[in-house]
Structure 1
């Protein structure tokens, strides 16, 4: 794999840390800003809504930009939004900063997902996406727990400052390691033609499945801290530990998806897909048993990212030929539509701390019910 791909993953690590870290900061953040925990959880939805809108918009606006310029601009804007967030004194300002950061993240990720496939060719697209998303899994293992611990020691604002500082080496890495690319859309399909690809039923189906799976992941992950300190009866110091366990699971899941998504995607989905709703239901039923968390939390992290990563690869395979600029944006928007809807639905199940886990069960069960038509024919043949 080219070095540029790993430098892109470094930037994804910084952004993934920000996207996921609120799960460990919600109680303290809500208390300081004077809002309920459920309301504070809407910050995750605000971020995801910004990603949904920002991915296609930013991808369309930057079609004629040199690829390196677009990626660098995304990192810089993301850092600036976190400076605003770190100094926010009201919930609306912090919410607006999260939306701005999401737009920057969306533009960056849409370009990065497309660039990852272009760097290696179609035969290794799944592996390249796996390397890119390893930045997200590394964030769940290292960045998110570190952010939660830093928030407990120095306050939640310190975590926002840390993410802003983390963007500096990521920006340098983009400038140094990513080829400038072309600054024109010449030779690519017209924007109208790329937008028309989104109307294809097969692509919409895969994107819907990805949205449902990610909705389940974020419904549960956003509110893991109340489960740890509530039904499980563990102290606040255990929150970073549980987040590390989830992150370790995501590392395993995304690596499995990266290796199998190109060769055996349907087998992976057939095995891991049914286990997702069963796993979330089991965690909800056993939430009052601390010994269940170390087993189920990493397992669910692995399953969620293995299934989600495979669906991303299938969406890219379906759209990449006829929508080379917008394919990454479509996948990014779909996943974040799920990330926006999941916490919203989960918040409605509070104050029961296990309510979000049952919401995750329902969302992933819906994906399972809609999934069998994936077996009609592989998307790679359709693209060919």
Structure 2
């Protein structure tokens, strides 16, 4: 893999830490800002909403800009939003900064995905995606638990300052490693209208829908994992970062394995990983009161969630091959539609069922629905004699 991919992964690590870090900070932030845990969990949804809106918007607006300029501008805006978030005493202001930082993240990731796939051969999109997503999974292994530890020792605001400071080496990596050539008109790139027209493709719609559903299941659980650890399993708060490390370790393993299979054997990953993911959510919800099974299953579910999810997002990139500038934004949007919906559904389940494991059952329902859609689609294709797609 080209070295610039790993520099992009460094910046994705910083942004992934920001996106996931609230999983360990929600109780402290809720208490400090005088809101309920369910309301504080909406900070994750706010970030995801900004990602959904920002990905296509930024990709369309900056499609002719030099990649380095776009990536650097997004990083600086992202850092500024975190500085404001660290200073504000108002929940509504923090909510707005989360949305704006998400728009910056979306612009960065959409351009990074397009840049990454342009740096590799067309049949290696899955490997390129796995390198970028490795930055996200490492964030859950190291960045998020570190953020939780910093938040526990110095307050949740200190974690926001740490994120802002980490943008400095990430920006240097972009400056030193990413080319700055401006895309010229008439270079063979389809028009914006043509690239937006790709969204009408049933294959792309299906891939985006399935990717969003699996990611919604993941975020429904991850956002509210801290209460499961402390209330259901009865572990001290210091165990929250440990459990997040286990989830991140599984995620890294899952995305690494899937990166080697999603280009050539996506059907195998989905046929095996999908049902196992469903069974895993049921087992996790049923055994969450026991610390050892909880920790083991968190690792397993991290691996399965990111393995299946990254394979589906790779399918988005293949389905959007005719939209080289906008394809990365479609993949980003699919990821974050799920990331926005998951915490909302988890919060609704928490309010209705009043048990910390409610979001895990929501995840199981989402995966069940996704598997039914996959099965129905395959049945319809076989019935009509349609050729299998990659």
Could you tell me the TM-score, scaled by structure 1's length? Answer: 0.97
Give the match for residue 31 of structure 1.
31
CA contact (8 A) 1:123 1:262 kept: yes
CA distance in 1, matches of 2:251, 2:205: 25
- Tell me the secondary structure at the aligned position of residue 227 of structure 1: helix
Give the match for residue 300 of structure 2.
299
Give the match for residue 223 of structure 1.
224
Give the ranges of 4+ consecutive aligned residues of structure 1 lying more than 2 Å apart after TM superposition.
181-187, 372-380
- Tell me the secondary structure at the aligned position of residue 41 of structure 1: helix
Aligned mate of 2:366, from 344, 363, 366: 363
CA distance in 1, matches of 2:356, 2:129: 34
CA distance in 1, matches of 2:131, 2:266: 17
Bigger drift between 121-130 and 164-173 goes to: 121-130
Give the match for residue 194 of structure 1.
195
**Using a 3 Å threshold, how does the CA distance of structure 1 residues 16 and 197 change in structure 2: closer, same or farther?**
same
CA distance in 1, matches of 2:9, 2:196: 27
Instruction: For residue 181 of structure 1, report the CA deviation from its aligned partner.
Output: 2.8
CA distance in 2, matches of 1:184, 1:51: 27
CA distance in 2, matches of 1:378, 1:318: 13
CA distance in 2, matches of 1:378, 1:319: 17
- Tell me the secondary structure at the aligned position of residue 58 of structure 1: helix
Structure 2, unaligned stretches of length 5 or more? 382-386
CA contact (8 A) 1:63 1:185 kept: no
CA contact (8 A) 1:66 1:184 kept: no
Give the match for residue 165 of structure 1.
165
Give the match for residue 280 of structure 2.
279
CA contact (8 A) 2:313 2:334 kept: no
Give the match for residue 251 of structure 1.
252
CA distance in 2, matches of 1:185, 1:342: 40
Structure 1, unaligned stretches of length 5 or more? none
Instruction: For residue 184 of structure 1, report the CA deviation from its aligned partner.
Output: 3.3
Give the match for residue 308 of structure 1.
309
CA distance in 2, matches of 1:127, 1:163: 27
CA distance in 1, matches of 2:13, 2:184: 29
Give the match for residue 353 of structure 1.
356
**Using a 3 Å threshold, how does the CA distance of structure 1 residues 17 and 69 change in structure 2: closer, same or farther?**
same
- Tell me the secondary structure at the aligned position of residue 330 of structure 1: helix
CA contact (8 A) 1:314 1:379 kept: no
CA distance in 2, matches of 1:22, 1:106: 18
- Tell me the secondary structure at the aligned position of residue 335 of structure 2: helix
Give the match for residue 184 of structure 1.
184
CA distance in 2, matches of 1:378, 1:161: 49
Q: Over aligned residue pairs, what C-alpha RMSD do you find? A: 1.1
The Cα offsets for residues 144-187 of structure 1, whole Å up to 9 and x where unpaired, read as: 00000100000000000000000110011001001113343532
CA contact (8 A) 2:113 2:129 kept: yes
CA distance in 1, matches of 2:254, 2:88: 36
**Using a 3 Å threshold, how does the CA distance of structure 1 residues 86 and 128 change in structure 2: closer, same or farther?**
same
**Using a 3 Å threshold, how does the CA distance of structure 1 residues 105 and 128 change in structure 2: closer, same or farther?**
same
CA distance in 1, matches of 2:251, 2:67: 28
Give the match for residue 13 of structure 2.
13
Could you tell me the TM-score, scaled by structure 2's length? Answer: 0.95
The Cα offsets for residues 76-129 of structure 1, whole Å up to 9 and x where unpaired, read as: 111111011111111000000000000000000001111111101212111111
Q: What is the total number of aligned residue pairs between the two structures?
A: 379
CA distance in 2, matches of 1:345, 1:73: 33
CA distance in 2, matches of 1:304, 1:13: 18
CA contact (8 A) 1:67 1:179 kept: yes
CA distance in 1, matches of 2:181, 2:372: 42
Instruction: For residue 354 of structure 1, report the CA deviation from its aligned partner.
Output: 0.7
Write out aligned runs for 1:131-170 (5 A): 131-170=131-170
Write out aligned runs for 1:304-383 (5 A): 304-320=305-321, 322-350=322-350, 351-372=354-375, 373=377, 376=381, 377-380=387-390
CA contact (8 A) 1:318 1:379 kept: no
Give the match for residue 90 of structure 2.
90
